Amino acid sequence: MSKAPNGLRFRAVAPVAVGLLALCLAGAAAPAGAAGLDAGAAALENRRGLSDLVIEAFHRRDLGWEIYAPLIAREIGAGAGPDTPAFARTLAAWQSVHGLGAGGVVDAATFGAMNMAWLGRRPFVAASRRLCPASPAVASLSPVPAAASYGGKAMLLRPAALAAYGRMLAAARSELAELRRDPRLLTVFSAYRAPDEDAARCLRDGDCQGVTRATCSAHATGLAIDVFLGAAPGFGPDSSADANRLYLSRGGAYRWLVQNAGRFGFTPYAFEPWHWEWTGEQI
């Protein structure tokens, strides 16, 4: 994992140098590539990529970026749909600023740069590169209230993270009619998990979630929550099957989180729509 960011950074910087050189030679004033953008063609390519783009950013091979479209739109400040010329133009401006050309198409390099930006906002990711962060003392944690717990499950979180989550849930319940129809939405179904319990569960289930559960999980910090966003028919709420993640990414609860969770100090893990980490406390 430590080599990928460097590689991406290098790839991101190189086109900037090439672009600047081209500008100097041509004496042009416009951002490199932006003037010649065919937004209609880029929109068509984005439409294909929504289901076809090969993504290998998450230790497996996925097809299509639709699952990540809400996060990408948020990142670039696009209000239009992901397969529209307006989205392509907004993306082209973002790419130009980030040294990724200005083609207006979500490609592997652009997705990789965005994923690096998302990872960079998770203090847990930076901390766990050095050493798995120490877990807090269980006695220092607070119980998640029953009204905020999925199915009344007993769970613990660090107090400040729990308070921030409570403010976020109250805001979502007042702003989003969907939550009034289904009060289970955005309730917590996993919070603090003791490292030894995760390791035991990994062995018992034969499911180590890409070994993160067994070795070093963000949930051991007491700052990570999994929230209920619904589930595709036949799947559990935390199924990482593409069909389930796509279903969740299309839901209003997730889209509200993408737009608003940052106000309360929460940042996403792009691969798992249900997983959010609080950034207000040092790890």
Contact 157, 219 (CB under 8 A): no
Residue 149 — φ and ψ, nearest 5°? -110, 135
Between 32 and 227, name the residue whose CB sits nearer to Zn ion: 227
Span interacting with Zn ion, options 19-27, 44-52, 122-130, 268-276, rule CB under 5 A: 268-276
Provide the total of helices (H) and of strands (E) in the chain, helices listed first: 12, 8
Size of the site for Zn ion (CB under 5 A): 2
Contact 132, 5 (CB under 8 A): no
Minimal distance, residue 190 CB to Zn ion, in Å: 6
Between 102 and 270, name the residue whose CB sits nearer to Zn ion: 270
Minimal distance, residue 177 CB to Zn ion, in Å: 26
User: Helix, strand, or coil here: 57?
Assistant: coil
Span interacting with Zn ion, options 10-18, 128-136, 159-167, 270-278, rule CB under 5 A: 270-278
Minimal distance, residue 219 CB to Zn ion, in Å: 6
Contact 114, 9 (CB under 8 A): no
Which residue of 83, 198, 226, 277 would you call a contact of Zn ion, by CB under 5 A?
226
Element (H, E) at 51: helix 39-52
Residue 153 — φ and ψ, nearest 5°? -65, 140
Structure tokens belonging to residue 124: 């847990």
Between 19 and 268, name the residue whose CB sits nearer to Zn ion: 268
Binding flag, residue 198, Zn ion (CB under 5 A): no
Minimal distance, residue 70 CB to Zn ion, in Å: 18
Between 74 and 275, name the residue whose CB sits nearer to Zn ion: 275
Between 115 and 190, name the residue whose CB sits nearer to Zn ion: 190
**Contact letters for Zn ion, residues 20-49 (x by CB under 5 A):** ------------------------------
Which residue of 47, 74, 184, 275 would you call a contact of Zn ion, by CB under 5 A?
275
Span interacting with Zn ion, options 38-46, 75-83, 147-155, 226-234, rule CB under 5 A: 226-234
Measured at CB, which residue is nearest to Zn ion?
Answer: 275
Span interacting with Zn ion, options 6-14, 51-59, 109-117, 222-230, rule CB under 5 A: 222-230
Residues 279, 242, 154, CA angle at the centre, nearest 5°? 50
Q: Give residues in contact with Zn ion (CB under 5 A).
A: 226, 275
